[in-house]
Amino acid sequence: SQTIHQWPATLVQPVGSPLSLECTVEGTSNPNLYWYRQAAGRGLQLLFYSVGIGQISSEVPQNLSASRPQDRQFILSSKKLLLSDSGFYLCAGSTGSSYEQYFGPGTRLTVT
Amino acid sequence: AQKVTQAQTEISVVEKEDVTLDCVYETRDTTYYLFWYKQPPSGELVFLIRRNSFDEQNEISGRYSWNFQKSTSSFNFTITASQVVDSAVYFCALSEGGATNKLIFGTGTLLAVQP
């Protein structure tokens, strides 16, 4: 089964600073990969998804971007963080016809 | 449009009580997939179960059971003899599958099991 790794676990960044969150997948190849954000209040918002290397689809126009430089690597970035970017960021992956998504441990981002 | 509704925002029970978490979904697709996830205080979402739209058979796994009813567009989750370790936020989700396999999540139900 696949394992999703994310780092860092927590991050405190000032407004206007850049961001780079990394997600890597172990135990599978050609996964679909997803970035979600969970703000206070528990709702999960899909930010980006990728069905292959270099293929990124954005769900919500915002201050963030994503890239997939390798099959099992998914990166979430921002050039200048906003206060509203604070939240819990989760990376997930799915493969084949199983359809369930497996999640990483998440990164808690606080923008100050 | 697809939608998942979890009307119960918070539920509090005493240990050993049975509890049912409700999930109602909307979709125009004939083929779809339903899921339950558990999010303990640590934050990571843990996959619990997947149900395909063409399989209405209910499922039991230990103290967990799931009741899928297409006639009412519901996919409810019951925990029997709840335990403190069951305390978490539980999410119901829906997917059309396909190449993108995007999940639509409900807003979650916070379950607090008191000792």
pLDDT digits (tens, 9 = 90+) for A11-35: 999 999 999 999 999 998 899 999 9
- Check A44 against B105: CB less than 8 A apart: yes
- Check B95 against A90: CB less than 8 A apart: no
What kind and span of H or E run contains B52?
strand B46-52
Read off the pLDDT of residues B55-114 as tens digits, 9 standing for 90 and up.
888 888 999 999 999 999 999 999 999 999 999 999 999 998 888 889 999 999 999 999
Say if A44 is an interface residue toward chain B (CB within 8 Å). Answer: yes
Shortest CA gap A28–chain B (Å):
17
Encoded amino acid at A55, one letter: Q
Read off the pLDDT of residues B12-70 as tens digits, 9 standing for 90 and up.
999 999 999 999 999 999 999 999 999 999 899 999 999 999 988 888 899 999 999 99
Q: For residue A29, what are the contacts with CB-CB under 8 A and spacing of at least 6?
A: A71, A72
Query: Do A93 and A6 meet the contact criterion of CB atoms below 8 Å apart?
Result: no
pLDDT at A1 over 80: no
Report d(CA B3, CA B93) in Å as an integer: 9
What kind and span of H or E run contains A48?
strand A44-52
What is the structure's pLDDT at A61?
67
Shortest CA gap B100–chain A (Å):
7
What is the structure's pLDDT at A50?
95
A37-62 mean pLDDT: 88
pLDDT at A98 over 90: no
Shortest CA gap A99–chain B (Å):
6
Residues 57-96 of A with CB under 8 A from B: 57, 59, 88, 90, 92, 94
Report d(CA A57, CA A61) in Å as an integer: 11
Q: Count other Cβ atoms within 10 Å, centred on residue A53.
A: 13
